[in-house]
Amino acid sequence: MPILENSLRNLTKLFAKAYWSAKVFKQKKSKYIAVSGKVVGHEELSNMIDASLDMWLTTGRFNDAFEEKLAKYFGLRFALTTNSGSSANLLAISALTSPLLKERALQAGDEVITVAAGFPTTINPIIQNNLIPVFVDVELGSNNIDVDQVAEAISEKTKAIFVAHTLGNVYDLEKLQILAKKHNLWLIEDNCDAFGSRYLNQLTGTFGDIATLSFYPAHHITMGEGGALLTDNPLLKKIIMSFRDWGRDCWCPPGKDNTCNNRFGFQVGKLPEGYDHKYIYSHIGYNLKITDWQAACALAQLDKVDEFIEARKRNFQTLFNGLINCQEYLILAKAIDGADPSWFGFPITVKDNAPFTKVELTKFLEQNNIGTRQLFAGNILRQPAYLNKEFKLRIRNTKVKSNLELEDSDYELLPNSDKVMNSCFWIGTWPGLQEQDLDQMIETIKKFIDGYKYSRDGKN
C-alpha cells in the first residue's frame, strides 16, 4: 500500500505541475486582467488527494493541522474554521449573544456599530440576531470607518463594534481599542480582506475579541469556500464551537466520544439525568463546519501566504506609483500612519471635479480587458434588500428608527458612504498579476484620463 500511495502522490505532483503550467500559460495569453483569482499548485492538490485517500470526508486531521497552524501564524490561542467568511461573521455575532457571557451577552435591541459602505454579511448577522446596527460614515480614500464618529454614536445600548478592514486597508485600531475598553464594548475585526495587514507592526485580526477570515478564492489564501474565526479567549472559543457545531454543549471532534470523560454524567435543563452529553444543546446553533479537503487545500496555501502578502503589497505600490499623477481627478487609497496593509484590491475614487464618472471609467476599463469591482454594497442602506424588509437601525448619534422610515436627511448623514457608492471602484492586486498586467492597468487609466484632458485643453 505505501508503494501505491507514493506512486499516486508522485503522479499527482507530475500531473499538477503539467496541468497548472498549461493553465498559467493560457492565463498569461488571455487578454482579460481579472481583479482576483487563486494561485494554487501541486502542493494543494497533493494534500487534497491525501485527504481523499483518508476517505474521512468530514472535518479531520487536515483541519486540526490547519487550525493549529493558523492560530500560530496569528500568535493567538484559537483558530476555528468554518465554511465561509460570512459564516465566520455570523458565528462571531451569534457567539456574543451566548448566555454564558452573562451580563456582557448581547440581547435583542442592543446596538452594534458598523458602516453602511461595507460587505453585506458583515452587517447581516447584526440584523439576523435582532440587534440594531448603528451606521457611521467612512473616510474617503481609506474607505474605512471614520473612527472619530464612533464616540458620538455610542449609546447606553451599544455593546459592540464590528467593522471590516476595507480591501485590506487598516483602520485606527488603537483608537477603537481605547473606545471599546472605555465603554466595555466587544471589538470584532472583520479581517476577511486583510490577512497579513499590520498596525504598529502587529497583525490585524489580533486586536479585537474576535476576528474573521474568508478563504474564498479572491482572498489571500483559499480553500474554495471557507473562513475562520480567531480569538484568544477560551470562553469565546467554546461558544463559537458550540454555535458552529449544531449548538451542542459537547466539544468532541467528529468521530470521537467522551472527550469530557463525563459523557453520561450531566443533568442540565429539563433533561433526564445522564442524558448523553453529545446530544445536549446549550445554544440555538448551526452546522457551519468544513470538510477535510478544504482544510487540506488551505494548509498548503498557508505555507505560501507570506509570498502572497508581499506580492499584494508590491502590486499595490506599482499601481500607486504609476497612477500618482492622476490625482487631479482620482483619489488613490492611503494607509493611515502606522499601518502596513496587505491589499485585497486597489481602490480608486473619482473626484467630484472630474469630467467623467465612475461608470464611464469602469466601462472603459472593462471594454479594454481590465477587470473592475464595486466597493461591495456601496451604501447598503440604498440596496433593495435593505429597503424591503423592516429592521431597526440608528445613524450616527440619531434616534433608533425603522429602515422603512429613512428620509433624504438620514442619507445626508452618511455622505461618504454615498460617495463610495457613486464614485469608488477597485482593481486587482492579487499575486497572479504580472508586471505587464499592472503596466496595462496603469496605461489604460492614463489613456482614459488623457482623452478628457486633451478635449478640455483643446477647448481652452
Ligand X SMILES: Cc1ncc(COP(=O)(O)O)c(C=O)c1O
Residue among 62, 78, 119, 186 that touches ligand X (CB under 6 A):
119
* Beta carbons within 10 angstroms of residue 74's beta carbon: 22
Residue 189 binds ligand X, judged by CB under 6 A:
no
Q: Name the residue whose CB lies closest to ligand X.
A: 85
Residue 193 binds ligand X, judged by CB under 6 A:
yes
Residue 116 binds ligand X, judged by CB under 6 A:
no
State the minimum distance, in angstroms, from the CB of residue 220 to ligand X: 11
**What is the Cβ-side half-sphere exposure of residue 359, based on CA atoms within 13 angstroms?**
2
User: Are the C-beta atoms of 388 and 420 separated by less than 8 Å?
Assistant: no
Residue 82 binds ligand X, judged by CB under 6 A:
no
Q: Which of 240, 326 has the CB closer to ligand X?
A: 240
Residue 85 binds ligand X, judged by CB under 6 A:
yes
Residue 286 binds ligand X, judged by CB under 6 A:
no
Question: Cα(53)–Cα(261) distance, rounded to whole angstroms?
Answer: 31
Which residues have a Cβ under 8 Å from the Cβ of 100 and sit 6 or more positions away?
235, 238, 239, 282
Task: Give the total of residues touching ligand X (CB under 6 A).
Answer: 14
DSSP state of 222: -
State the minimum distance, in angstroms, from the CB of residue 116 to ligand X: 14
Residue 192 binds ligand X, judged by CB under 6 A:
yes
State the minimum distance, in angstroms, from the CB of residue 272 to ligand X: 40
Residue 122 binds ligand X, judged by CB under 6 A:
yes
Buried/exposed 127-155: b ≥16 CB within 10 Å, e otherwise: bebebbbbbbbbbbbbbbbbbebbeebbb
Residue among 20, 216, 251, 411 that touches ligand X (CB under 6 A):
216
Residue 222 binds ligand X, judged by CB under 6 A:
no
User: Are the C-beta atoms of 213 and 326 separated by less than 8 Å?
Assistant: no
Residue 46 binds ligand X, judged by CB under 6 A:
no
Residue 86 binds ligand X, judged by CB under 6 A:
yes
Which residues have a Cβ under 8 Å from the Cβ of 21 and sit 6 or more positions away?
none
Residue 418 binds ligand X, judged by CB under 6 A:
no
| Annotated catalytic residue, options 42, 165, 183, 219 | 219
Residue 39 binds ligand X, judged by CB under 6 A:
no
**Nine cell digits for residue 108:** 435583542
Instruction: Name the one range near ligand X by CB under 6 A: 85-93, 154-162, 168-176, 267-275.
Output: 85-93
Which residues have a Cβ under 8 Å from the Cβ of 342 and sit 6 or more positions away?
168, 194, 195, 196, 197, 198, 220, 309, 312, 313
Buried/exposed 344-381: b ≥16 CB within 10 Å, e otherwise: bbbbbbbeeebeeebeebbebbeebebbbbebbbbbbb
Instruction: Name the one range near ligand X by CB under 6 A: 13-21, 66-74, 79-87, 398-406.
Output: 79-87
Applying CB under 6 A, the residues found at the interface with ligand X are 84-86, 89, 119, 121-122, 164, 190, 192-193, 214, 216, 227
Residue numbers annotated as active site: 219
